[in-house]
Amino acid sequence: MIDPHSIFLLTAAFASVVGLILLIAVFKLNPFISIFLASLALPVHC
């Protein structure tokens, strides 16, 4: 059985990956800084 917290964690991880791609591709941000920001944003959601 899948609990709601697992679904939330999967959604947060997916949103983090999408945000990472947007930061690099659209906003032309340095990949190192983008990965740093994505790694900081994930624990904030969880």
Mean pLDDT, rounded, for 25-44: 92
Is there a contact between 31 and 39 (Cβ–Cβ < 8 Å)? no
Straight-line distance from the first to the last Cα atom of the chain, in angstroms, rounded to the nearest whole number: 20
Mean pLDDT, rounded, for 6-19: 91
Asked if residue 16 has pLDDT above 80, the reply is: yes
pTM for this structure?
0.81
Asked if residue 32 has pLDDT above 80, the reply is: yes
Asked if residue 14 has pLDDT above 90, the reply is: yes
Asked if residue 17 has pLDDT above 90, the reply is: yes
How far is 29 from 46, CA to CA, in rounded Å? 24
Contacting residues for 21 by C-beta, under 8 A, at least 6 apart: none
Task: Determine the pLDDT at residue 45.
Answer: 66
Which residue shows structure tokens 């991880």?
A: 13
